[in-house]
Amino acid sequence: MRKIEIEYNTSRDELIMPEYGRHVQEMIQYAKSIPDLKMRQAYVEKIVDLMYIMNPQGKNVEDYRERLWKHAFQIAGYDLNGVVPPSGVIPTPEDKTKKPEKIEYPESEARFRHYGHYVQLLIKKAKDMEDGPIKQGLVASISSYMKLAYRTWNRDHYVSDEVIKADLVALSDGKLSMPSDQPIENLDPAGTAQGKRNGQPTQQQSSKQSSKKKKKTWKRK
């Protein structure tokens, strides 16, 4: 009776990238032995196409094929002489350990992060505007929103108009300010002013007045 020898994975070469399986690894190792450079290039391109089909979940990732080429070179131990990815950049072992450049976080946003990023953008826009009533109106709106944001994230602490005005000056590098005698309007969570603005009733007050008029009209009928 002929003895059947069973080859176990423990006796095989270790999988460098298990997500692609042993067959892909063996094909890439075989590609290294192809003497004709054009055939080797074409063979590796087909392997990358196979890797692309095997992992459909990554197709929406930006530069996904470029990443597959890097994986193919990694599986080959970066020993695919004559093979060049479509990008023209040949992956190296240093690419695997390369650290991304540190992104500096703006100090102003780190210090005043409770106001949010959009406040920073609004302040930047207001700084570039010409002086006038439109700019002052925008500054007043920014101050009101800053007050709302402060109250939202610091509910246990009272916030005064002086604090908001001081933070506005700091965030704008001293280019924006509110008059010392002008109060900052309070905003409710819906973003509408509580109280009267320029002598006009708020939306909440207008709706109450409208409902009262409807009741009077109904009683007359």
Rounded CA-CA distance 75/68 in Å is 10
Q: pLDDT, tens digit, for every residue of 108-141?
A: 555 677 888 888 889 999 999 999 999 999 999 9
Residue 190 has what pLDDT?
55
Q: Name the residue among 83, 89, 87 with its Cα closest to residue 45.
A: 83
N-terminal to C-terminal alpha carbon distance within the chain: 109
Rounded CA-CA distance 17/127 in Å is 53
Give bridge partners of residue 186 from the DSSP assignment: 194
- Which pLDDT band holds residue 144 (cuts at 50, 70, 90)? very high
Residue 151 has pLDDT above 80, yes or no: yes
Q: Name the residue among 31, 25, 28, 30 with its Cα closest to residue 12.
A: 25
Residue 157 has pLDDT above 50, yes or no: yes
Residue 105 has what pLDDT?
57
Q: Which of 11-20, 74-83, 150-159 is the least confident region?
A: 150-159
Q: Name the residue among 156, 147, 157, 139 with its Cα closest to residue 193.
A: 147
Is the whole-model pTM more than 0.75? no
Choose between 17 and 196: higher pLDDT: 17
Tally of CB atoms within 10 A around 108: 15
Residues 6+ apart with CB under 8 A from 161: 147, 178, 183, 184
- The H or E element containing residue 57 is none
C-beta of residue 118 within 8 angstroms of C-beta of residue 105: no
Q: pLDDT, tens digit, for every residue of 63-116?
A: 889 999 999 999 999 999 999 999 999 999 887 777 777 766 555 555 677 888
Take residue 141 and report the two structure tokens written for it: 């709106």
Question: What residue ranges do the domains of the chain occupy?
Answer: 14-97, 107-196
> How much is the mean pLDDT over the chain?
80
Q: Name the residue among 104, 106, 101, 102 with its Cα closest to residue 117.
A: 106
Residue 180 has what pLDDT?
87
